[in-house]
Amino acid sequence: MQADEFGLSGEQLLLRETAARLARDVYAPQALEWDRDRSFLPAAERQRLAETGFLGMCLPAEYGGGGAPLLDGLIVIEELAKASQVAAFPVFEANTGPARVIELFGSPQQKQRFLPPIVRGEVTLAVSISEPEAGSAATDLTLTARRDAAEFVITGTKRWCSGAGHAEQYLVYARIDGEPGSRGIGALVVPADAAGLTFGPQERLMGFHGIASADMYFDEVRVPADNLIVQGFKQLFTAFSIERLGNTTMSLAIGQACLDRTAAYVQQRTQFGRPIVEFQSVQMALADMVLQVEAARLLLYRAASGAGHGAPTSLEASIAKCFANEMAKKVSDTAMGLHGGYGYSEEYGLERYHRDAHGWALGGGTPSIQRVRIVSEYLGRSFSQRAPARQRPA
């Protein structure tokens, strides 16, 4: 199905083609090498993304951005990610990641200080949420930020931070002044060169090659009090919904790329004297791939269209992410099967997509967690996942 059938404007179709051309001509030829060598995106390529306007396209114009609706950013992310997830990641971070937290909740002074360098490609802002004992249970985080006069003093450990050891700044989620529960959680900007901040070795992950990931250790790290962007986990959930649509788009890109490659391959590959697409079993498998990809796109576009320049509803974001995450795993797996031995080869890139698909399903709230969110939002009631407190014997 052509994208204009989803009601995209002429400007959005042109934007899609511009991003697709950049991905095809510049990033696709380098994707295999970057994955094999676990190479980070070169600084020159980040600058190229900034010069095209892609890094700040959904950020406000008064801070150097393009002021575009969320859907425009997702269109670009998909086209870049179909060629290389490494190339798409900075655009994902800037338009659907931690920069949007600053845009949503920061003061005018904070926005002026932190957003323009991101738009210009001078700084990458990564997000740091998870901890050794706080993954899906994000509100269990224990990293603390203690107020000391005009500064916050941060102590603790972070884990699974995408960008750790490579980004210039981090939006760190911490417990502010020991305040209990979700209301005590805040987000602070911490520069990579802050005294007392160190990084563990780069993780050797199954996928996400070329995207940094490491532990972060905070030993009495001091940052100005004005680096606190927002406090209150319920507020931060608004930004999570935007990030989940970015995640959804990365998964959609995997599914679409695998579908495109497979549709071409099954018409070219011959066995028993005819193209394998003429076998009904292949047709059934390819049809399932089409159904899965198109359904994911519809769910994504519905959520993004409703968001406009802001955030989607939590329910629509969770539905889209859950479905797209599982779609990407299924479709990439089917694509590998239809390619036979070639699907198992690095040269064809399908195994790379399959590895990355599993990563997106784990990041930003797993499909299991999304299902809990879906039921909670759909029924309008909350469900505690915590075990009841044990009663002491009389």
pLDDT tens-place string over residues 83-122: 999 999 999 999 999 999 999 999 999 999 999 999 999 9
Dihedral over alpha carbons 124, 154, 216, 229 (to 10 degrees)? -30
Task: State how beta strands 197-199 and 213-224 pair.
Answer: antiparallel
Maximum Cα–Cα distance for the chain, whole Å?
A: 80
Interatomic CA distance for residues 368 and 155, integer angstroms: 31
Give yes or no for residue 4 having a pLDDT over 60.
Answer: no
User: How many alpha carbons fall within 13 Å on the CB side of residue 252?
Assistant: 23
What six digits make up the tokens of 173?
């989620």
What is the pLDDT at residue 58?
97
| Closest C-alpha to 354, from 374, 331, 378, 377 | 331
Q: Are 83 and 31 in contact (CB under 8 A)?
A: yes
Give the distance from CA 117 to its chain's centroid.
20
pLDDT tens-place string over residues 145-199: 999 999 999 999 999 999 999 999 999 999 999 888 888 999 999 999 999 999 9
Backbone conformation region of residue 29, classed left if phi is above 0, alpha if psi is from -120 to 50, else beta: alpha
Instruction: Please enumerate in sequence order all residues whose Cβ is within 8 A of that of 316, keeping only pairs 6 or more positions apart, or say none.
Output: 299, 302, 303, 306
pLDDT interval class at 3 (50, 70, 90): very low
Higher pLDDT, 24 or 5: 24
What six digits make up the tokens of 68?
């575009």
% of the chain at pLDDT higher than 90: 89
Interatomic CA distance for residues 299 and 164, integer angstroms: 31
Q: How far is CA 378 from CA 52, 373, 382, in A?
A: 40, 8, 10
pLDDT tens-place string over residues 186-237: 999 999 999 999 999 999 999 999 999 999 999 999 999 999 999 987 777 7
pLDDT tens-place string over residues 227-251: 999 998 777 778 899 999 999 999 9
- In a 3-state reduction of DSSP, which class is residue 152? strand
Q: Are 162 and 128 in contact (CB under 8 A)?
A: no
Type and span of the H or E element at 172: strand 169-176
Ranked by mean pLDDT, the top range of 71-80, 126-135, 362-371 is 71-80
| Closest C-alpha to 225, from 57, 109, 139 | 109
pLDDT interval class at 384 (50, 70, 90): confident
Interatomic CA distance for residues 257 and 268, integer angstroms: 17
Mean pLDDT of 123-131: 95
Interatomic CA distance for residues 160 and 315, integer angstroms: 25
What type of residue is 173? Y
What six digits make up the tokens of 120?
């210009």
- In a 3-state reduction of DSSP, which class is residue 348? helix
Mean pLDDT of 60-69: 97
Return the number of other C-beta atoms located less than 10 Å from residue 190's C-beta.
Answer: 23
Dihedral over alpha carbons 51, 86, 137, 191 (to 10 degrees)? -50
Q: Are 299 and 320 in contact (CB under 8 A)?
A: yes
Domains in the chain: ranges and CATH: 3-119 (1.10.540.10), 125-231 (2.40.110.10), 234-379 (1.20.140.10)
What is the pLDDT at residue 134?
78
Interatomic CA distance for residues 141 and 5, integer angstroms: 44
Type and span of the H or E element at 285: helix 280-307
Give yes or no for residue 1 having a pLDDT over 50.
Answer: no
Backbone conformation region of residue 342, classed left if phi is above 0, alpha if psi is from -120 to 50, else beta: alpha
Give the length of the chain: 394
Interatomic CA distance for residues 136 and 370, integer angstroms: 10
